[in-house]
Amino acid sequence: MSANWYPIIDEEKCTGCLSCVEFCPHGVLAEKDGTAVVVAPEKCVDFCRGCQKVCEFNAITYANGGEQK
């Protein structure tokens, strides 16, 4: 469980490819109206950057210090 670390989707950059939704094994992300949305931030794993790594559009950052690489 993570109250302080979870993804933030940049709606301007997100293309709706849904790679992140398919990748995350914890059900944190889901599709809504053609883009990815964060539906269960409390299930995100501290310091996991899995979905950021699979996003080809640099649309994912993290709450509390998750700078883009």
Which residues contact ligand SF4 by CB under 6 A? 7, 9, 14-20, 23-24, 26, 28-29, 36, 44-45, 48-51, 54-55, 57, 59-60
CB of 5 to ligand SF4, least distance (A): 8
Q: Name which of 24 and 69 has its Cβ closer to ligand SF4.
A: 24
CB of 67 to ligand SF4, least distance (A): 14
By the 8 A CB rule, do 8 and 61 touch?
Answer: yes
By the 8 A CB rule, do 23 and 68 touch?
Answer: no
